[in-house]
Amino acid sequence: MTYNFCTLFDRNYLYKGLALYYSLLENCKDFNLWVACFDDITYPVLKKQNLKNVILISREDFEDEELLRIKPTRTVAEYCWTCTSSLPLYILKQNPDLDMITYLDADIFFYSDPLPVFREFGNNSIMIIEHRFAPEHKHHEIFGRYNVEMVTFRNNNDGLECLEWWRERCIEWCFAKYEDGKFGDQAYLNDWPSRFKNVHVLQYKGAGLAPWNISKYTINIKNDEIFIDNVKLIFYHFHEFKILKRGFELCSYSIPKNKRNIIYKPYISAIKRAMGEISKIEPNFNFGYCKRTLKSYLPNMIAKILKTFKVYNAVRYIIDRLRKRRNGIK
């Protein structure tokens, strides 16, 4: 089948957006990816790359009067969240022959073919994915039972009704705070299974792995493929992943080293590839980097201090032993 995906990002998420694209190219035999470019830098950079299977959408073509009206009232992140619902609706209206469209967050990364997801989706009209919080993160459910990381809409009455409703709600209110049961664009999904017809909540545990639920699952490698509780990992959501000038900061969640190595190493390689590709086109590109936080350098600093103390103590021990031997003390 041909997968039809869409995403949106600006220059600060360009490396991550390209990593997402590389992962689709690696794992999908046939796909289209619509990318809404949210500034005047992202569009020309991607245009120069001439990416296979990518359809670029300029900000001027995408933004309508309603979006432009509320844009000054939102932060950059809040405006992106506001537009999440408008993008798949825009694409379906521009391409009425499409059977369905799947929105993807720019910071997810595919490890295998998403075919099991769409087989499970079947003939339904709307697909959403639960956060599936691990017990220690269950309190975060106040911000939404479902995550907007991957949402599918079929191009029929049920899918379009849901999209229209979601867009209207996001234009009315979409902020980075919890208020009256709302949070950004996400908490609006809470009652979709009862509000709309033919809504499917994905059960496949290999889709939607993320820092907030990874502790629940066993992760291993079989025949060079990653498995989550004996099913293939399809995609991981790299929430809180930060690109630093020197290195990376994975997230604030505690993730065992073996799981970090399996999941994060391929993503870091893809990010580095994106950085290399962009530097060829725009050598002065200098966006998408975060400032170092205490969390990012404290472990290394502690390790260096401990190493220094070990060397210092070893030297003192040797000097002390030599002194005692010289004085005839065993």
CATH value at residue 192 = 3.90.550.10
CB 237 within 8 A of CB 105: yes
pLDDT at 291: 84
pLDDT above 90 for 40: yes
Provide the mean pLDDT of the chain: 92
- Domain count across the chain: 2
**Residue 260: band (very low, low, confident or very high) from pLDDT cuts 50, 70, 90:** very high
Phi, psi of 229 (to 5 degrees): 50, 45
> Which tokens is 165 given?
């409703």
Biggest CA-to-CA distance, the chain: 95
Query: Are 252 and 299 in the same domain?
Result: no
Domain shared by 114 and 209, yes or no: yes
314 shares a domain with 166: no
Cα of first residue to Cα of last residue in the chain, in angstroms, is 79
pTM here? 0.89
Tell whether the model's pLDDT for residue 74 goes beyond 90: yes
Q: What's the confidence (pLDDT) of residue 266?
A: 97
In a domain, 256, yes or no: yes
Same-domain check for residues 228 and 300 = no
Same domain for 209 and 125: yes
pLDDT of residue 323: 58
- Quick check: 50 pLDDT over 60? yes
Give tens-digit pLDDT for 88-137: 999 999 999 999 999 999 999 999 999 999 999 999 999 999 999 999 99
Same domain as 307, residue 269: no
> 206 with 232: CB under 8 angstroms?
yes
Domain span holding position 299 = 293-330
286 in a domain, yes or no?
A: no
Q: How confident is the model at residue 314 (pLDDT cuts 50, 70, 90)?
A: low
Whether 277 has a pLDDT exceeding 90, the answer reads yes
- Give 16-19 contacts, CB < 8 A, sequence gap 24+: 16/106, 16/107, 16/238, 16/241, 16/271, 16/274, 16/288, 17/106, 18/270, 18/273, 18/274, 18/277, 18/278, 19/109, 19/267, 19/270, 19/271, 19/273, 19/274
* Range scoring the smallest mean pLDDT among 115-124, 291-300, 301-310: 301-310
Q: What is the pLDDT of residues 218-254, one digit of tens each?
A: 999 999 999 999 999 999 999 999 999 999 999 999 9
Residue 288 included in any domain: no
DSSP class of residue 255 equals -
* Cα 236 from chain centre: 7
SS3 content of the chain, % helix, strand, coil (to 5): 50, 20, 30
pLDDT for 329 equals 45
Q: Are residues 303 and 220 in the same domain?
A: no
Please name the residues in contact with 132: beta carbons below 8 A apart, sequence gap of 6 or more. Answer: 205, 208, 213, 216
Please give the residue that has the higher pLDDT: either 330 or 202: 202
- Average confidence (pLDDT) over 296-317: 55
Q: pLDDT by residue (tens digit) across 163-218? A: 999 999 999 999 999 999 999 999 999 999 999 999 999 999 999 999 999 999 99
Q: What is residue 145's predicted lDDT score, i.e. its pLDDT? A: 98
* pLDDT recorded at residue 306: 56
Task: Specify if 157 maps to a domain.
Answer: yes
